[in-house]
Each structure stands twice: as C-alpha cells, then as structure tokens.
Structure 1
C-alpha cells in the first residue's frame, strides 16, 4: 500500500508497455458489462498486444499492476450518464496513463479535454482506428501535462474529504459574527448552564419513551 503523499509525489512515469484494460468475464445485460466484454474481445482480435486483466481473465491483487507500466488504458463505465464517472476513469489518471474512455458524456467538465480520448463501444472498427492512430502519434507524450493535471484533480479536488468539505462549507457557512473564543460544552454542563436545553432534553426523552411504549 502507498500513502497519499507517496501517490501524490511519485506518479508512475516509467512506462514500458502500451495498452491495457481491466475487463472481467461478467456479462450482465442490465449494465454495460456484456457490451464491454464483447467490445474488449473484438478489440483484442484486432490488437493482439492489448493486455486484459480482471476476474476470470488475468487476475491481479492490485489494480496498479494493470496501470503503472502502461501508457494507455481502455476504460469503460458500467453505466453512461451525465456527471457519472467512477474509479474506472480516475484510476487511469492515478496510474498516469491516457484513457481511451467510454462513459460520462461531460467528463470534460471535470477533467481537461486533452486528458482522455473518447470512444464509442458500438463502433469497434472506428474505436480500433482511434486507438492505433493515437498510439502511432504518441498522444501519451503529447498529452502528459493534461494527464498529470487530471491526476492532481483526482488527488486534491475529487477525493472524498475535499468533496465533503465543499458540501459542508456550502451548506453551513461560518458566520462572520461568530466569536473565536467559543467553547464546546459537555452535555451535562450545557444543561446546567442553559435550563431551556435541559427541558428540551427531558421532553425528547419522554417523547421517545412514549413512542417506544406503543410499538
């Protein structure tokens, strides 16, 4: 396991392989699992050096094994909807790779447009041509700065703690009139200093007991 600081300070930039994907043998029809599996297998038939990882194929203990050595990774979401992007995209950025991506239609609202290459999994031939042309043109090297910016956003802007902080701050702004000498009182001391709070507490306990008695 790597710490947050280690991940932030040491992006895996020493790449020795080209293209990978994580695609298990799951083929549920109510999601894109089946389409993803069939699309991936069709690509493999056209691009034999595409390395496929996942349950039932080539199992790995850490997803980084499918990313760190690769310049490119195919990433396909289980569901396509506005604002819906998952670790399938963000993990590729953490691995400092360039995603060939099928998923969130407005992903460019969250990440630099140059940090990923959109694909249509309903068009195998077109997608294959896009992939091969991008690799031939060394798009990974050309887009590396955008990839690293997307990686920074995953680590700094979209991690759970940053998201929660923004939500809490937006919904509960700090009042400019609030004094910095405020204190946090224990429940017992609060009731002692503020009788109304004590009465509210007694009422709430009585109400809950009455409700439970009728259940």
Structure 2
C-alpha cells in the first residue's frame, strides 16, 4: 500500500517550521500512521491540513496601535501559494481554539474563507460548517511507544496545575482569579507555567509537561472554555497520558469521548471548587479507584482520538 503524504500549514507560527510535527504521536518512523505519512513541509503533498490557520482579512483598517507597533507593513499572505496545488477536496481545515466571545468574528471569517479552499471545514463549536470534537494532540516529549507501553510512573505528590498568565479574554481572567483563590487557600497544589503573574507562587516554566504531571496523583485540567458540547483540549489528554486523575473543568465533550470515572468534575471556579479540590487531594483514594478507567482512557487517546488516526480515516474515505 502506497502512503499518502499529508502536508500542514498553521496559524501557529512555531509549527510551520516543524518538519517532524506529530511524529511523536506514532510508533513508526517519519510520521507514518496506517495509510498516511505526516510530512508537514512536503512541497507536493497528497492532502493538506490547514490547522488553526488564520486567513487574511481584506482591507482591514489598521488602528493607531497597530501602526505604532509595526514600523513596516505586515507582509500579505498569499493563500494560493500555501496550498501547494492540492485539490480542494483534499484540503482539510481544522480549527482548534475555543469560540470565546472575543474571537467569534475572526472564527466566522476563517470558516467562510476556508469553505472557498477546503473540502472539509470543522471546529469545536455549533456554528462551524461541520461541528466536531478536536482530534487529540498532546504535549509530552515521550515517544508513542513509551506512552503506550510504560508502567505507571511513581506518584509522590498530590496535585499539580500547569497553566499560563494569558489574560486576553474574560474566561482567561476568570481562571487567573481562581488561581489566586486557590493559592490563598490551604490546598497543596504545585503550580507550573509561563508568563504567570508576579504574585503567583510558581515553580517555573517546564520544557516538558511530563515532569509537572507524572509524579502527581491529580492534575487540575481547567479549560479556557466550558460552554458547549464540542470543546475539549490537550489539557485533559496530557493529564491522563501522565497517569494523573484529572480534576476537570470543561464542557460535556469529555463525557462523550472518555470512559466514566477517568476524570473528576470540578463543580465551579469558586470557593465550592476549592473545597472540592481540597477534599479529593487529601488522599490518593480517588486515584486508586480510577486507575483502570485512566488506563482505558489512555488507550482511547493514543489510538482512537489521535489526530494522526483521524487523518488516516479521512484519507481512507476520500
């Protein structure tokens, strides 16, 4: 069977130079999974994935702040040159950011533009052309074989939270308020992350999330958005792959994708939520009770929800 190559272009700038993007999500060399080979930078791919790609807005006026920040005009994006002559029916658009109020107009613009170039357009919101869950990616540096075959890592601490200081939206600021409330409580939770506020008692940024998750029984997995039935992110996948029991705040998507008992529901981002975290993390009992469900969830993430598996199925049906 000849492999079909899948190229990629993204609005995440750091991904566009990654020739090995997603290679850690397969046990095979060079990004092979089933009938596909992920070759993000391929000049003439058989299929093209536009992953959270932001289409340029025509005739968008610049604010005085934009002009102040940019001494030179922002280079124009030529979409036709990026799609590498891939036929429209073989171009996939997957949007993965949540539909926050602050970005809905941009998201709708991206969907409208994507329909002109792509045969399949999807995102985790009700107004997407094809509403659907996001296929899973994760942010551990471990190989697929390690994650798939490893024994349970040694657990020595109660709870961790890996987050950031991003405060661009109301939801981001609400999460930071909960962080402040958590740190003023008696809950023992180790904090890691980037760009956190000066008042945050953080253990610093991590080069590999594994080290801030695998030694812990529990992990706070708090989404930036919890208001629909589609959105669920790597926050949950990363925790489970590290054999943590997630204390999860998010929408209903997780309940539909993962087995019962593989995560706990944080009831709210307030004093009630703090009390719940304190009660659960006081002992590892809940983790031991969930161990089998965590093992099952990990296999679902690695083999079924995996973005490479999703792409392979798409190619098979094309």
TM-score for both structures, normalised by structure 1: 0.72
Q: Report the Cα distance in structure 2 between the residues aligned to 1:162 and 1:119, rounded to whole angstroms.
A: 30
* Secondary structure of the structure 2 residue equivalent to 1:46: coil
1:20–1:66 CA contact under 8 A, matched in 2: yes
Give 1:94 deviation, angstroms: 0.7
Distance of aligned partners of 1:84 and 1:125 in 2 relative to their CA distance in 1, 3 Å threshold: same
Aligned twin of 2:180: 41
**Whole-Å separation in 2 of the counterparts to 1:86 and 1:96:** 17
1:62-116 C-alpha deviation (Å, 9 max, x unpaired): 1111101000000111222212111011000111001111112231110012011
Residue 134 (structure 1) shift? 2.1
Name the structure 1 match of 2:256: 109
- Answer whether contact 1:93 1:151 (CA < 8 A) is retained: yes
Q: Which runs of 5+ in 2 are unaligned?
A: 1-140, 197-201
Separation in 2, partners of 1:94, 1:88: 10
Matched, 1:78 2:218: no
Q: Aligned partners of 1:149, 1:85: CA distance in 2, in Å?
A: 18
1:5 aligns with 2:145: yes
Once the two structures are superposed, residues 171-195 of structure 1 have per-residue CA deviations (whole angstroms, 9 ceiling, x without a partner) of 34xxxxxxxxxxxxxxxxxxxxxxx
Query: Any unmatched runs of 5+ in structure 1?
Result: 173-215
In the alignment, what sits opposite 1:95?
Answer: 242
For the Cα contact (< 8 Å) 2:162–2:192, is it kept in 1? yes
Match of 1:157 in 2: 304
The number of equivalent residue pairs is: 169
Secondary structure in 1 matching 2:261: helix
Which residue does the alignment assign to 2:116? none
Q: Which consecutive segments of 4 or more residues in structure 1 shift more than 4 A?
A: none
- The alpha-carbon deviation at position 162 of structure 1 amounts to 1.2
> Residue 152 of structure 2 contacts residue 243 of structure 2 at CA under 8 Å; is this kept in 1?
yes
Equivalents in 2 of 1:19, 1:143: separation in Å?
A: 15
The structure 2 residue matched to 1:133, chosen from 253, 275, 279, is 279
Q: Distance in 1 between matches of 2:305 and 2:217?
A: 23
Residue 207 of structure 2 corresponds to residue 61 of structure 1? yes
* Cα offset, 1:26, TM superposition: 1.7
Q: Quick check: which one's helix share is greater? A: 1
CA distance in 1, matches of 2:276, 2:185: 13
CA distance in 2, matches of 1:47, 1:12: 28
> Retained in 2: the 8 A contact 1:23–1:36?
no
Could you say which structure has the higher strand fraction?
A: 2
Query: For the residues of structure 1 that align with 2:188 and 2:218, how far apart are their CA atoms?
Result: 12
The corresponding residue for 2:190 is 51
